[in-house]
Structure 1
Amino acid sequence: MRTYTVKNILDRTLKILVLTGIWLDIFGKPERNGKMWIIYGEEKNGKTWFSILLAQFLSLSEKILYISAEEGLGLSFQDVCKRANLDEKNKNFQAYGYVTLEDLKAHLKRRYAPKIIFIDNVTVYVEELKNGGLQSLMKDNPDKLFIFIAHEDRGEPYTATAKMIKRLADRIVRVQGLVATVGGRTKGGQFVVDQEKAMILHGSNIIN
């Protein structure tokens, strides 16, 4: 086991995500390598829409992979991509439907594999992530950021696996009524996914 001196720790070069604007305000300056985030909320509250918007922004500087395991790449996923105004020419944004974690691991070993992976959602992968599956995924990919999307039950991520991800997550996002509230290891803040619809749900005072 190797130990580190204070100088060793301070001299380490860390991979920091390049964020600007509202994204920098709410997420701060997060590390990318070996980290996980979670985005959760009740159904039809905008968590996939928010996730696509975040993925689109991150793809401006890095290649990302969005695993749409629950919805697949059908009509509903096409609709949310249209609502997010995804650029058809954006080659840094890549998507799959459901793939096994073993196939995903194999894909991520490729030389030019994406470094940021969205997994939508935890419920679909709950069996594969149990019994050390999550730890194995992270251990095998120390240079990547995994962003997990989860359903919500009684104010918390749904399934024990999703709750564990929340406990380990570097950034935590809860989406309610088209408003995403960011917490975790940052000062946090709120992102309004759709201003007009959010005002209908929350009233004119969206930000608490």
Structure 2
Amino acid sequence: MARGITAKTLLNKKFKTFVFDGIWKEVLGEQERGGIWVIYGNEKNGKTTLALLLSEYLTKFENLNYVSAEEGTGFTFQQNLSRAQIDFKNTKIKFYDYLDIEEIDKMLMKRQNARIIVLDNATAYVDDLKTAVLRRLKRDYPDVLFIIMAHMEKNEPTTAMAKLAKKLCNVYFRIEGLTAFVGGRCPGGILTINEQTAMLFHGSEIKNKKSS
């Protein structure tokens, strides 16, 4: 039987958080190092570029495993890394082809494994990552941040699992026309993604406007 806690106990709880800086602090504020984030949008709109830039930034805090389940790690994905100007010397981010849920579970059970998992994307997991499985992963690994990527239809993620992920998430990025609209339990804002000048994400020149 579930037991409640008092307000004092709740207020005294300590949480491990990401203390961001720069543009990421402006739109994300301070976030707990666990839970679910969602990145969704139509193809060729900058979704993967944003995911890669965010992933590289997050390795300042934790190791990260990027599962390129739909596209794989072939030539086109290599080009995505090149456009995003990912630092090839960064060993804190590892890239994988499709991993099934059993493999992901085994990965997460290892104490020294990465604490951030990017799943690119929900469509590739439509058969084996059901809504119940997503809830279980969130419950079983509370100290892991799951970043779920998804395609978009009528301004919402496709697949039932991705829709649930958005409902459960702390942060979401809706990508349209090389623009990321950031929302959720965060300050929010609008990020401009320029695939030709991705280095702007690493400096202070990137355009940022608060969303209305």
TM-score of the superposed pair, with normalisation by structure 1: 0.91
Secondary structure at 1:65 match in 2: strand
Structure 1 residues 156 and 3, CA, compared in 2 at 3 Å: closer, same or farther?
Answer: same
2:188 — aligned with what? 188
How many angstroms does 1:111 deviate by? 1.6
Matching of residue 109 in structure 1 with residue 85 in structure 2? no
Change (3 A) 1:98 1:14: same
Corresponding position of 2:203: none
Q: CA deviation at 1:192?
A: 1.3
Unaligned runs of 5+ in 2: 198-206
The aligned counterpart of 1:88 is 88
Shift in Å at residue 2 of structure 1? 2.8
Identity %: 41
Q: Which runs of 4+ in 1 moved over 3 A?
A: 205-208
Gaps of 5+ in 1: 198-204
- One-letter code aligned to 1:6: A
In the TM superposition, 1:17-166 aligns within 5 A as 17-33=18-34, 35-130=35-130, 132-166=132-166
Q: 1:110 to 1:158 in 2, by over 3 A?
A: same
Tell me the number of residue pairs that the alignment of Structure 1 and Structure 2 aligns.
200
Kindly provide the CA deviation profile for residues 135-166 of structure 1, in whole angstroms up to 9, marking residues without a partner as x.
12212211111010000012111112211111
SS, match of residue 183 in structure 1: strand
Letter in 2 for 1:11: N
Report how far residue 206 of structure 1 moved.
Answer: 8.9
Residues 65 and 196 (structure 1 numbering): CA distance in 2 closer, same or farther, change over 3 Å? closer
Deviation string, structure 1 residues 54-77 (Cα, Å, up to 9, x no partner): 000001221011110011001111
Residue 18 of structure 1: how far off its partner (Å): 2.6
- Residue 195 of structure 1 deviates from its aligned partner by 7.6
Provide the aligned C-alpha RMSD in A.
1.8
